[in-house]
Amino acid sequence: MKISYIDLFCGIGAFRVAMNNVVKKQKIHAECVFSSDIDPAVQKIYFDNFGDRPFGDITKINENFIPDHDILFAGFPCQPFSIIGKGNGFTDTRGTLFFDIARILSVKKPRGFILENVKQLVSHNQGKTFSRILAILNEIGYTVSFKILNALDFGLPQKRERVFIIGTLNSLIFDWKLTKKPMAPLSSILENNVSNNFFASKMIQEKRKAKHKSLHTPSIWHENKSGNISSYPYSCALRAGASYNYLLVDGERRLTPREMFRLQGFPDTYKITVTDSQARKQAGNALPVNTAEAILEKFLPIIHSDMYTNVDAVSDVKVNYG
């Protein structure tokens, strides 16, 4: 029996890469039956790697047009709710992209879902936004569980904390005791021969080295908004809209597109077919493949076994705070 899934706000396909890795290990058959992303450059790189072009603006796609599926994936953008915490169900989410996830879940009722967002979503608006998201998912009929996870714990040399939200229709609370991996050394993701185009100007290099001396080699130097500089044997979180010199390898050069994709867990077989500036944006928006893979290793057996039990009813809906 084949597991079908959809990939919303798919970006460069981190969920899909993770899914492909896990189904091979577990010898499960799976198929992506629908994907969506509004960015044309994302649609291009996704097509070049997976062979199908994502549909565009999800807000303009009727939920009945989307094929039936077993799992919904969505690394959705975080937008403040226009109305919050007033007990209005779906009306609390209209105008936000979470509403599009909710309307699809309410009609298509997949067996489970995995959502991903920045960790700040949990505390946004004093926690009211996140509480409303969980309540709505419960109202649709899902047992919901969430946890903030760091990519550093799953083998990637990048400090990237994200909240993952999991829901199932079978009222089973997800076990968050995931298999962790030691962090890969930063040297394993750095390229040996890098074009001069990636090096910061001599002025920037000298200015940073006058401020800071690193205890690690190699290291990635991080400059925050206040101009303070720190360095670690791993990268701080990649960001789509950060300044060009936000992260510098050994205080000297910017990361290459391949290095950024490696930091997110993408294999070197993944084709980077967009400009460097687009690649930097796409890597900064992506979710870490290794983290998604660790979740899927436990999540897929739940869905796969559920497909054989023909669960149609939901009872004892709960929220688990991890």
Residues identified as active-site:
78
How big is the chain by its Cα radius of gyration, in Å?
A: 20
Separation between Cα atoms, residue 255 and residue 97, nearest integer Å: 31
Q: Which residues of 267-289 are buried (b: 16+ CB within 10 A; e: fewer)?
A: eeebebebeeebbbbbbbbbbbb
How many Cα neighbours within 13 Å face the side chain of 89? 6
Structure tokens belonging to residue 307: 């497909």
**Sequence-distant (≥ 6) Cβ neighbours of residue 229 within 8 angstroms:** 208, 211, 212, 221, 222, 223, 251
Q: How far is CA 11 from CA 14, 54, 94, in A?
A: 7, 9, 23
Rounded Cα distance between 246 and 196, Å, is 17
What's the CA gap between 282 and 68, in Å, rounded?
Answer: 28
